Every structure is written in structure tokens, then in C-alpha cells.
Amino acid sequence: MDNIVAISILAVGMATFFFIGIYSRRWTKSTAEFYVAGGQIPWKLNGVAMFSNYASAASFLGVAGAIALFGIDNWWLALGFFAAWVVVVLILASPLRRSGKYTVADALYERFSGSEIRLLTIIAGITIGTLYLVPQLVGAGHLFNLLIPELDYFIWVAIAGGFTAIIVVMGGMRGTSYNQAFQGIIIFGAMTLLLILAVVMYFNWNPLGILADSDSVVTPTQVVNNDAAEQILSTYPIASDGTDAMAAARSSREILPEEPSALTPGVNVTDMLNQLSLVLGLFLGVVGLPHVLIRLYTVKDAVAARKSTELTIISLAIFYTMTLFVGLAAMMLLYPLLTDLINQGEVGKATNTAVAELGRLLGGEVLLGIVLAGAMAAILSSAVGLLIQMTTTVAHDGYTILLRPESSEEQRVRVAQITGIVLTVVAVVLSFVLKEENVAQLVGMTFGIAASTFAPVLLMTVWWTRFTRQGVVATFVVGLIVSLVFTFAKYSGMETLLGLPVLVNPALYGVPAAFAAGIIASLLTRDVGRVEHFMHLAHDRDGNERNGVSAG
Amino acid sequence: MRVDPTAKQAEASREQPPEAGDPEPADGKYWSPFSTRAARWSWGLMALFTVIYFVVAILTSKEFADVAATMIFGLPLGFILGIGLIISGLVITRIYLSKVEA
């Protein structure tokens, strides 16, 4: 078997994840522990876990890989991922944390009664969670099958799914938090190590040298599009070392002097409408991602939630800046290899394996193993976050609140664990079915649907006193339908629908439609719920303090 | 085990779910969250960040590619705007936390 050292490092990492899950089993005796770790996770650990929860395979492998192929334009995804967190901390984190207990549905229920609202949150939560979980497993299957072909796609998907279920079922939220914090350190450390080694070994200890050099390089995709690939590959073989690869990269400018450089913006971006739809989906997407928001409840109060979120934002800022430098370094140091893969039509393989190949070039099998462990950590941390959110949604909002309020603690934990196993099986099966689907499209679609459902519902619930119960239902239903319809239209290859162009992301239609539906329905109805109680609980810190409630 | 009193209050209120919402005040106006200082900071900074975000997004779209490619201090404007967006996000977050928690 090739890559035995790398596989061993990966195995050690996965064994550690497994051990943490088993070790945390002692705490999963109550529902409060299983769902939100009893609200006792330290804010620093929670901040790292939130970073890890969010920095999925798309962030760790996809962003840097896409920059390596297409240049600086693909950095926009990272900027959107980062900006979304600022939105969360500015307008949602504190009021949501103060108003709820376990889930986003709890926060809604604090203001509005009615089982239909809880049912809609379950449907939307499961839809978004599953659509986000599947690409994590698909990504794991493809990546590790490419790098370790002895185990095929299906086995890797099953391994990733099985590990996800074990970590969640055994450890609950506390085990998940410890695992995600550990995985966050691996993800951040691997990206930092790649950057430092690249700068020290090839850019004279100067990170800005990466920018200077990449400004004199034409991206591999443009080289292939201009039929210059053969000329470069005939001079510089695929197996070139880093120095020769950089020479190959520089020669691209000599061959194509009129082409824009890797640092030139606007070369690979779409038109204005598509760009706006994408950035809107990213901007509001996190506000509507329950698996991210649930982490606001795992710390003891709103202050800790805010500190966690700020730590996450700082980590993401550094991480996504590093992805730009690592992506550009990968472009130059792997230039012949990437050009050859694109020339063969294997753009996906080139994108997903660029970071791993950079690790192999800079640190041999040891660094390859660390990068693989980082990739698996990124995949698992997002997957376990999604799974525990869905488990909590079904077991708490569905079983405990709607079906069996009289159930015992033991029964509730048991249902949560069974739900975790069932949902994992569903996701693994879907990952087999959707094996050939584009992972980035699935993730982007999830952001668009989240921005069209949970985001407008939560924002209007938390901030608008005239928002009514009927408005909640209308927002959920219209947002979900519009975003799903335009998503399916995109997949089915339609160019227009109802006279509107079908865009890369459904957010530009879903978000305004959802807000409009909620506003119109609210203005036509009167049931604003317990608005005075809710607004004071969520916002009135002075009033809460007077009434003996933590200001948070 | 330390228990968050906010969560306790939420739990207590959940045990008695309301059959109907709050009665409408005589003047038709409920207590507004926008009356708090924290909310004004939240939305003021949110408006600022939204403008920065979408201006950067528009300037880096295909229609404005030439503008984004303008070189400033030896670097394309698009790159500088991207770094600027990250820095402004960090600064705005810090201002928000310091003002709201002050």
C-alpha cells in the first residue's frame, strides 16, 4: 500500500476523534447534556469548535484549491463565509442566546405558540442539515478515494458516516464540542504549517513574495484555454520539483503576455445578478444555519456566546487570509501537475487535491498525512455539527415537545441516539445516490435555502414587533418553496423560470420572496405572540437585570 | 452545576405556553427593541458593514472588472478591497462588542 506513513497519521487522528467520543459518553445522561452540553462549554473551547464546525471541507480544501486553479476571483467564497459571521454577531447572537434554551425552534416558541411552527422548523432544519451533510460525505468519499485508491468511494463514505454517528451518539454535544475543538486546532495548524513551509522553502521568508510572484503568472485554467499547456508541459514535466514548477509558472507569462495574471480580479466571476445572488446567499446563510446557531446555547450565558463568536471571527479572518496565500503558493509550486490535470478535464480532482499535493511537496508523507487528517477533521467536524443539530431537532422539537411530552430523560436520550443513527444511514445512502453531483453546488444551495427560510424568520422574530404567527408560517413556506424550485430549475438545466433567469444560487429570489410573504401575512393578521415578553427577554438587558434575570 | 437564569426563565415560561398572544397596547405600540442602545449600535454597524460588503461584491463583479484590476501600491484594487473587508469586519465586531458591553 502506498502512502503508509500518511495513512498511519490519518488513522491516529481518527482514533483520537473516536476516543474523545467514547470518553465523553459519561456525560450524556441527560437531554440538557446531550443537546447543549448543559450550557457548560468554556467560551474559548466553544469558539474553536464553532470555527471547526464552520470550516468544512469546502473551506479547507475547496477555497485554496479553487484559488490554485482560477486565481484570486475564487477568494470571494472565503470573503462571504467570513462576512456572514459578522452579521451573526451584530444582529442575532445575543438576542437569540438570551431568548432560547436548546434550539432555534425554542427561541421561536418563546414568542409564538402553535405546533405548526415547530413542525416547520423541523422540516426546514432537516432539509438544510441533510443537504449540507451529504456533500461532506461525498467530499470524504472522493478525496480519500483519490489519494488512497485501495479503499473505494463507498467505503470512505461509510467510514466518514460511521465515525460521525459514533462521535455524536456516544459523546452528545460535549463530546462533539471537544472533538470539534481538537479538529479545529488540526485544521488551523495544517493550514498554518503549509503557509510557513511554503514561505520558508520557496519565497525567501517573505509571505508577500507569494503575491509578487503570482502577479507575474497566468492561471493554469487560462493556459489550458489558450492551448499553451502542451508548450509548458513539454519543457517542465508533471513531476517537477517546486523550483522547476515555479519556473513553469513564470514561463506562462512569457507565452501569454496579454493574459491577465492570477491576481487580476474579474476574470472568472459571473455577471452581476449571479454575483449578487451568491453574495446574498453567503451573507445571510449563516444566520439561517441551525447547526451553527445551536452552538450559541452551549456556553453559560450571552457574554460567553459573544466572546466565542468573536474568537471564531478572528480565527476565520486569519484562516481565510491564509487560504489565499496557500492557494496561490499551490498554483505556482504545482503548476505542471495542475495544468496537466485540467488539460485532461479533471478540474474537480485538481481542485480537491491541490492542498494535499502541496503538503506532499513541502513535507513528504508526514505533511501529507497531517493535511489528510486536517481534511478529515474538517469533514467530520461539520458533519457531526450537522448531525447533532438534526438529532436535537427531531428528538427535542419533534419527540419531546410534539409527540411525547411525558417521556423520561432516558427515553429522550435514546430517541436522540437512534435518530442520529437513522439520519446517518439516510445521509450515507444519499451520498451514494449523489456521488456524481458537484459538492460546491450542494453547499451553495444549502446556504441559499437557509438564507431564504431560517434567516428571515429569525430576523423578523427577534426584531419586528408586528411579525405574526401567520407571518412565520408564510415566510417558512414561501422561502422554502421558492428556493427549492429555483434550485431544482438550476439542476435541471433551465435558463429561465417564470420569466426570471435561473441563477447560480436561489437566494436572490428566495430571500425577498420570504421577507415579502412574512411582511404581507403579518400586516393582514394580528397574532404577534408574546411579543412584550419575548422582546424584553431578548433585548432589554436593564429590564431583565431589574427582574433578576441574567443580562448575559 | 451552574444554571443560566435566562434559560430557567425560558423553561418556566415554556411550561405554560400561551393560548393567545399579548394583548395589544392601548396606543397600538409594543415595546420596541430599537429603543435600546445596543440595538442602535447593532443596526448602525450592520448598515455600515452591509454597504462595505456589497460595494466590494459589486466592484469585484464582471461588470467592474477593470476597476477591480486597477493597481494601487503595486496590488490590484480587488485584492485590497478583499483584505479591507476582512479588516473592517474585525474592527466593526470589536466596536460592537466594546460599545454594547460597556
CA distance B13 to A485: 38
Instruction: Please check whether residue A206 is in contact with residue A199, taking contact to mean a CB–CB distance below 8 angstroms.
Output: yes
Residue at A479 is within a domain = no
User: For all residues of chain A together, what is the average pLDDT?
Assistant: 83
CA distance A278 to A273: 9
State which amino acid sits at residue B46. M
In 3D space, the residue among A22, A386, A374 whose CA is nearest the CA of residue A175 turns out to be: A22
Could you tell me how many CB contacts below 8 A there are between chain A and chain B? 204
| Highest-scoring range by mean pLDDT, A194-203, A209-218, A535-544, B35-44 | A194-203
CA distance B80 to B73: 9
**How far is A148 from chain B, CA to nearest CA, in Å?**
36
Residue at A490 is within a domain = no
> In this complex, is the C-beta atom of B76 within 8 Å of any C-beta atom belonging to chain A?
yes
Residues from chain A contacting residue B1 (CB–CB below 8 Å): 38, 40
Residues from chain B contacting residue A463 (CB–CB below 8 Å): 33-34, 39
Residue at A531 is within a domain = no
Determine the 3-state secondary structure of A28 from DSSP. Answer: coil
Residue at A447 is within a domain = no
Find the CB nearest B57 among A87, A276, A465.
A276
Determine the 3-state secondary structure of A549 from DSSP. Answer: coil
> In this complex, is the C-beta atom of B97 within 8 Å of any C-beta atom belonging to chain A?
yes
Residue at A523 is within a domain = no
> In this complex, is the C-beta atom of B80 within 8 Å of any C-beta atom belonging to chain A?
no
Name the strand (E) or helix (H) holding A415.
Answer: helix A409-433
Instruction: Please check whether residue B87 is in contact with residue A313, taking contact to mean a CB–CB distance below 8 angstroms.
Output: no
CA–CA distances in Å: residue A353 to residues A60, A153, A420, B42: 11, 15, 30, 41
Q: Which of B8, B58, B60 to mutate against chain A (most A CBs within 10 Å)? A: B60
Q: Do B49 and A270 touch (CB under 8 A)?
A: no
Average pLDDT over residues A38-42: 73
Determine the 3-state secondary structure of A500 from DSSP. Answer: strand
Instruction: Please check whether residue A219 is in contact with residue A262, taking contact to mean a CB–CB distance below 8 angstroms.
Output: yes
Average pLDDT over residues B19-46: 77
Residue written as grid cell 488540526: A186
CA distance A326 to A354: 10
pLDDT tens for residues A177-190? 787 888 888 889 99
Residue at A532 is within a domain = no
Helices (runs of H) and strands (runs of E) counted in chain A: 26, 2
Measured in whole angstroms, the distance separating CA A135 from the mean position of its chain's CA atoms is 10
Residue B59's pLDDT band, with cuts at 50, 70 and 90, is confident
Q: Do B22 and A317 touch (CB under 8 A)?
A: no
CA distance A285 to A269: 20
The domain in which residue A351 lies consists of: 4-399+409-436
Predicted confidence (pLDDT) at residue B13 exceeds the cutoff of 50: no
> In this complex, is the C-beta atom of B72 within 8 Å of any C-beta atom belonging to chain A?
no
Judge residue A254's burial from the number of C-beta atoms within 10 Å of its C-beta, 0-12 exposed, 13-18 middle, 19 or more buried: exposed
Predicted confidence (pLDDT) at residue A551 exceeds the cutoff of 60: no
The cell numbers describing B45, all together, are 454597524
Residues found in chain B:
102
Number of domains into which chain A is organized = 1
Residue B23's pLDDT band, with cuts at 50, 70 and 90, is low
**How far is B21 from chain A, CA to nearest CA, in Å?**
4
- pTM value is 0.83
Determine the 3-state secondary structure of A222 from DSSP. Answer: helix
Residue at A74 is within a domain = yes
Q: Do A529 and B11 touch (CB under 8 A)?
A: no
Predicted confidence (pLDDT) at residue A301 exceeds the cutoff of 50: yes
Instruction: Please check whether residue A17 is in contact with residue A175, taking contact to mean a CB–CB distance below 8 angstroms.
Output: no
pLDDT tens for residues A505-522? 899 999 999 999 999 999
Residue B88's pLDDT band, with cuts at 50, 70 and 90, is very high
The CATH number of residue A205's host domain is: 1.20.1730.10
Q: List all residues 6 or more positions away from B78 whose beta carbon is below 8 Å from its beta carbon.
A: A72, A264, A265, A266, B59, B60, B68, B69
Q: Which of A86, A211, A216, A544 to mutate against chain B (most B CBs within 10 Å)? A: A86
**How far is A214 from chain B, CA to nearest CA, in Å?**
11
Q: Do A265 and B78 touch (CB under 8 A)?
A: yes
Residue at A357 is within a domain = yes
**How far is A300 from chain B, CA to nearest CA, in Å?**
6
Predicted confidence (pLDDT) at residue A286 exceeds the cutoff of 90: no
CA distance A477 to A458: 14
Q: What percent of chain A has pLDDT over 90?
A: 21
Q: What value does the CA radius of gyration of chain A take, rounded to a whole number of Å?
A: 24
In 3D space, the residue among A83, A47, A90 whose CA is nearest the CA of residue B93 turns out to be: A90
Find the CB nearest B10 among A40, A110, A317.
A110
